Structure 1
Amino acid sequence: MGQMTPKIAVIGVGRWGQNHVRVCKDLQRKGVCGEIIICDSDKAAAQYVARLNGIERWYTDIDEMLEREALDGAILAAPTRLHADLALKLLPRCSVMVEKPISETLVQAEMMLESAEKNGRILAVGHVERFNPGVAALKKVADDLQRKEGIAYLGVQRIGPGPAGARTDYLGVAHDLLIHDVDVGMFLLGALPKEVEALGVNGATAGRETEIAALMTFDNDAQTLASFRASWRSGPTLKKRILQLQGYSTFVTLDYILQSLTMERGVVDHAPAKGFVDILTTYRARDITERLLITGQESEPLMLEDRNFLECLATGKKPFVDGVAGYRALRCVLAALDSMRSKGSVAIQW
């Protein structure tokens, strides 16, 4: 007997929800996804996205949808402030993949985890960068570095324009962008941060932070120091996504946008030099390897993420990014925000 093709709903069809619908339709054509239902409180948006993608059934009320449809799973792509309320309605009826962040508060996240366990449901969290081919390649490098020399430093810059039209249903840049890199950092290091000190800048709209820089120490053998900077302070055309790892003889850079992975190793000991030319020669003597990662539709991170959730629905296996991982990332982000507001270091309790 073949593997089941799960029937799913996409809840919320804004910009990112529409991407989930597009991907699920492609997976439906591949025989991975079953029937797709749409639900959005905006009737015009729900109707438009359904018609655009050839989807027969759509709803504007989640209660009505749950009353009429027997779902295997739901992808929750509504605004973060609605995640907990909607997930707690869905989990007694079906498994859920909720977009990152898992929720606005830790109490809400705990309630979602408890509901998933009580109802025997899968709770996955949409930390899409975990499915980035660059992160997968970097994980192998990071594991090798950890074994051979340790990782002294991890640094990330994620810069891009903020929400369009000064939308007020967004939280700040920490929930939106910083949470990506904190999650990836924990994944790469296989460790949890124990302390954070953060600085930030608040924007003019609704007092949300538009930039945050968080310095975290990790509880691992190398005592890795990690620097995470997330910023909306850019024009509409500027985007930068860079992640760097430093061992004791190796420096690695992942450019998310270019999908390039560069490794640098020094080849000359830094001994006292006779003159300026000798100093330059010493500093420039490097062994550099660059890999351009193969990209295409089948390696689209969102495609891999949604496929993983659908396969979990069909087989019952644990999702690659589960609710606990989402909870941990949220705890780190909230601690960074506490530090930013208090202007002091904050211990991260586990």
Structure 2
Amino acid sequence: MKVLVVGIGSMGLNHIKVLTQLKKENLVTEIYAVDIDKQRLDIAKNQGADLVFTDFHEAIPRKPDLGIIALPTRLHYTVTNELMDHMDLLVEKPITEKLGEALDLYRKSKTLGRRVFVGYIERFNPVYKALINDIGNEKPMYVETIRIGKLRGNPQSYGNVLLDLGIHDIDLALNMVNEDKVKVLGNVLRGDPISTAWLMLSIGGSIHVLHVSWDYEFRIRKMHVTLRNRYYEADLLNKVLIRNGTKHMIESTDQLRQELMHVINVLRGIERPIIDITDGIRALAIIDGILMNKSIIDLDELLM
């Protein structure tokens, strides 16, 4: 399998490193890297990229099987739209900056029959996976998430804290509850661009309270989940799951490797996809609804 990585920032370079490992295991045959910065391309080549390009159009004749979009969010739509004509894609979250752009890509992917995955890497967090396995098919009554830390990059590259951090926890809650009707019960948004947010959502009757921020000097990635007969605390950062007061240490895994292996196995027909473009749209639609002051968001109607 030939893989193209477009955008060699920190995340793109992480992809190159994992793909190089997978190449040694004969799961990837060639790795291509694209960036306008030649110094970054030199780093990518030193890390294992076979060929590097300053323009993604130059890589298309190599006929990659999979393209990975790791660019600033504002560039996702244009590059994804064009590369979709030639290959299946993994797009780092958020899928696009604007909901209309994501829906346009969704319709095009259906027409072309293309696989488009979204990089919700927290789905592969071993603590979240353990939590989901233990909950099973039960619907939580209450979910509380907190994801805070200091932004190290340029906020313009991320849009706002909801698109950067909040979208992870919205996706996790949507995946856990699996309902389409979402009500926005309240929100507090601070900063321009938004750097801190508190949200209260009703997802099919389950309550989700979310806090995300770039304005703290320390990092927290936690979930609290309440069912009728048990309660969980999930520390996604320190790999701890507490069930009804009993602490369980969860073995850490390379989440990016897990994600890339899943994508490769889906394309090889070995696994069924657990994340696709519709997941990217669902979480983005909630953030769009909040920013547009909507009180009700019907995710099922959105994707009809």
Return the TM-score normalized by structure 2.
0.93
CA distance in 1, matches of 2:103, 2:270: 22
CA distance in 1, matches of 2:90, 2:193: 26
Q: 2:147 aligns with which of 158, 163, 171?
A: 158
User: Percent identity of the aligned residues?
Assistant: 26
Alignment of 1:1-350 (within 5 A): 6-50=1-45, 52-66=46-60, 68-143=61-136, 146=138, 151-164=140-153, 166-196=154-184, 197-202=186-191, 207-219=192-204, 223-235=205-217, 238-264=218-244, 288-295=245-252, 299-315=253-269, 318-339=272-293, 346-350=295-299
- Paired residue type of 1:141: D
CA distance in 1, matches of 2:101, 2:148: 28
Contact 1:194 1:347 (C-alpha < 8 Å) held by counterparts:
yes
Offset, 1:251: 1.6
CA distance in 1, matches of 2:181, 2:239: 27
Contact 2:262 2:271 (C-alpha < 8 Å) held by counterparts:
no
CA distance in 2, matches of 1:260, 1:192: 30
- Paired residue type of 1:65: A
Offset, 1:208: 0.4
- Paired residue type of 1:63: H
Offset, 1:336: 2.3
Q: Deviations over 1:121-170 (max 9, x none)?
A: 110000000011111111022226x2xxx522100000111143x45332
CA distance in 1, matches of 2:223, 2:111: 38
Partner of 1:248: helix, strand, or coil? coil
Q: Deviations over 1:315-346 (max 9, x none)?
A: 2854221001111010011122233xxxxx62
Partner of 2:150: helix, strand, or coil? coil
RMSD: 1.6
- Paired residue type of 1:79: P
State the number of aligned residues. 298
Partner of 1:212: helix, strand, or coil? strand
Contact 1:122 1:318 (C-alpha < 8 Å) held by counterparts:
no
Structure 1: runs of 5+ lacking an equivalent:
1-5, 265-287, 340-344
Contact 1:142 1:189 (C-alpha < 8 Å) held by counterparts:
no
Structure 2: runs of 5+ lacking an equivalent:
300-304
Partner of 1:310: helix, strand, or coil? helix
Contact 1:163 1:170 (C-alpha < 8 Å) held by counterparts:
no
More strand by share: 2
Offset, 1:63: 1.4
- Paired residue type of 1:92: D
With 104-113 and 78-87 compared, the bigger mean Cα shift is at: 104-113
Which structure: larger Rg? Answer: 1
Moved over 3 A (4+): none
- Paired residue type of 1:310: I
CA distance in 2, matches of 1:84, 1:19: 22
